[in-house]
Structure 1
Amino acid sequence: MRLISLAVAAVLALTLPAKADGVTVAVTAIVEHPALDAVRKGVQDTLAAAGYKEGENLTFRFESAQGNPATAAQIARQFAGEDPNVIVPISTPSAQAVVSATRDIPVVFTAVSDPLGAQLVKDMDKPGGNVTGLSDMSPVAEHVALIKEILPAAKTIGYLYNSGEANSVSLLAALKAEAEKAGMGVVESAATKSAEVQGAARALVGRADAIYVPTDNTIISALEGAVAVAEESKLPLFTADTDSVSRGSIAALGFNYYDVGKQTGDVVVRVLKGEKPGDIPVKVAAGSDLIINTAAAQKMGVKLPESVLKRANRVIE
């Protein structure tokens, strides 16, 4: 009987995933939308390319906070209790929740505009402790220049954001500084949840010459509401998130978020292979694409300059 039991055990060992020899990567995002989903996919594909494959030697956990910071904190505590090999929080709110929940488990954050302002690390070059990651700080000066190039007569940029998201507050300060250099002003309109986005966009009608949406997860998750207002009022809408152009914004100059995910995945692999997160510098993601939506421009009453169309990486018609 003992020999039979040993034989059965041997067969099971060969047929079942060797979880003891595998790793667990836990991923969380404040909300699901195309850019953040692309980041997650990039991380997953990079892990697979490095030999960490789900169902074989990798357990890949994902949880979305559905836009709720309290849920983000719950997920962070849950992940900390599960003790995975690495936690990858996508977005500033999720990163803040995870960093608050653990001091021991390696954390590789991503899609965080201002890691210093969000108090995730104290030094970008030498983060120390259990945390490192990737910043997606937007090229705000280039965004202002693009708006000015497309709308030479524009004097005021309407900033549509969640005032409770640290990432967006940091970007507001940068936008004001760059807009002033360009001789433009900034007016703010805040939405603290997705249901408020359309109303916040409507509040900019008559007060701004263009709407600018940063990499703000609350606004992007409900972008269609802002786009509807922009089309109805002929108020040009620009985004920092390139994935939002296909959803109705006129243009965006920013990262390919799948590539951001791949760059994040590279860091995760380094940690899985033994490097300490605190010894890996926090880097700003590489790459910047110009995406244009000519149909959206027409709906918002804008004629795109040939100079912009010629240098676009992709034109959506």
Structure 2
Amino acid sequence: MIASLPRPGGNMTGFAPIVPSLAGKWAELIKEIAPGIIRASMLFNPQSATFIESYVEPFKTATSALGIEAVISPVENMDAVEAQVTAEARKSNSALVVIPDAFTELQRAKIVALTVRHGIPAINWSRSFESGGLISYGPFLIEEYRRGAIYADRILEGEKPSELPVQTPVKFELVINTKAAQTPGLKVPPALLARADAVIE
């Protein structure tokens, strides 16, 4: 759709929330909050997460360094999600990493409910999962909307979208739900709580 991030060309520009290095950060954070895990499954819908390959290698690199088995788990509907979560629940010391895509966002409440019911530690990409979710880390979306408004104003004032770089996030937020940590029997490290942008109790 664009020629490059610095010079998109054509008649399109904007903000891309996809940051491949986040996959490694998710692995580190879920290991920090649930140090006993030995297996982490990356959950995504291949129909909407067409960018998944950009996350896979950073995820595998980070999990390997942490002594965690990386599992790539494509799911196309909620029946598949439930089957995957149930299967992980039968194994000991498993965790989930929920990748940002349109499907996981739409089904976030159901996904959170499944992980809580089965007591599986899960890290999500957005605080939109905070209702019952254990931990999330990702772009601070409110800031992205503000930056988008600035771009809209510049375009309305006559600047060409082709000359406005596609931008990636500049601010990220870590949200931890200490109540959700009680279900899988986790104790959130004080150092991790101190780094959190928001703590839900």
TM-score after normalising by structure 2: 0.87
Q: Which amino acid in structure 2 is aligned with residue 175 of structure 1?
A: F
**Partner Cα distance (1:187, 1:206) in 2:** 15
Match of residue 123 from structure 1: 4
- Name which of 234, 240, 245 aligns with 2:125: 240
Q: Which amino acid in structure 1 is aligned with residue 177 of structure 2?
A: N
**Partner Cα distance (2:39, 2:13) in 1:** 37
Match of residue 142 from structure 1: 25
**Partner Cα distance (1:159, 1:200) in 2:** 11
Residue 219 (structure 1) aligned with residue 110 (structure 2): no
- Name which of 32, 40, 51 aligns with 1:157: 40
**Partner Cα distance (2:66, 2:31) in 1:** 8
Residue 299 (structure 1) aligned with residue 183 (structure 2): yes
Q: Which amino acid in structure 2 is aligned with residue 258 of structure 1?
A: I
- Give the superposition deviation at 1:215: 1.3
Q: Which amino acid in structure 1 is aligned with residue 141 of structure 2?
A: Y
**Partner Cα distance (1:242, 1:171) in 2:** 19
**Partner Cα distance (1:145, 1:312) in 2:** 14
- Name which of 234, 252, 260 aligns with 2:136: 252
Aligned counterparts, 1:157-196, within 5 A: 157-164=40-47, 165-194=49-78, 196=80
**Partner Cα distance (2:144, 2:168) in 1:** 9
Unaligned runs of 5+ in 2: none
Q: 1:204 to 1:172 in 2, by over 3 A?
A: farther
Q: RCO (CA 8 Å, sep 6+): is it higher in 1 or 2? A: 2
- Give the superposition deviation at 1:195: 5.7
Residue 206 (structure 1) aligned with residue 87 (structure 2): no
- Give the superposition deviation at 1:305: 0.7
Count of residues in Structure 1 that have an aligned counterpart in Structure 2: 197
TM-score after normalising by structure 1: 0.57
**Partner Cα distance (1:275, 1:194) in 2:** 44
Cα RMSD (Å) of the superposition?
2.0
User: Could you tell me whether the CA contact under 8 Å between 2:116 and 2:133 is conserved in 1?
Assistant: no
**Partner Cα distance (2:7, 2:61) in 1:** 28
- Name which of 185, 191, 194 aligns with 1:310: 194
**Partner Cα distance (2:144, 2:57) in 1:** 24
**Partner Cα distance (1:232, 1:187) in 2:** 21
The Cα offsets for residues 146-188 of structure 1, whole Å up to 9 and x where unpaired, read as 1121122222111111012213343234322332233322213
- Name which of 99, 105, 114 aligns with 1:229: 114
Q: 1:194 to 1:217 in 2, by over 3 A?
A: farther
The Cα offsets for residues 65-105 of structure 1, whole Å up to 9 and x where unpaired, read as xxxxxxxxxxxxxxxxxxxxxxxxxxxxxxxxxxxxxxxxx
Q: 1:179 to 1:195 in 2, by over 3 A?
A: same
Q: 1:225 to 1:265 in 2, by over 3 A?
A: same
Q: 1:285 to 1:211 in 2, by over 3 A?
A: same
Residue 263 (structure 1) aligned with residue 144 (structure 2): no
**Partner Cα distance (1:204, 1:121) in 2:** 39
**Partner Cα distance (2:17, 2:62) in 1:** 18
Match of residue 285 from structure 1: 169
- Give the superposition deviation at 1:194: 4.8
Q: Secondary structure at the match of 1:153?
A: coil
User: Could you tell me whether the CA contact under 8 Å between 1:242 and 1:291 is conserved in 2?
Assistant: yes
- Bigger Cα Rg: 1
Q: Secondary structure at the match of 1:215?
A: coil
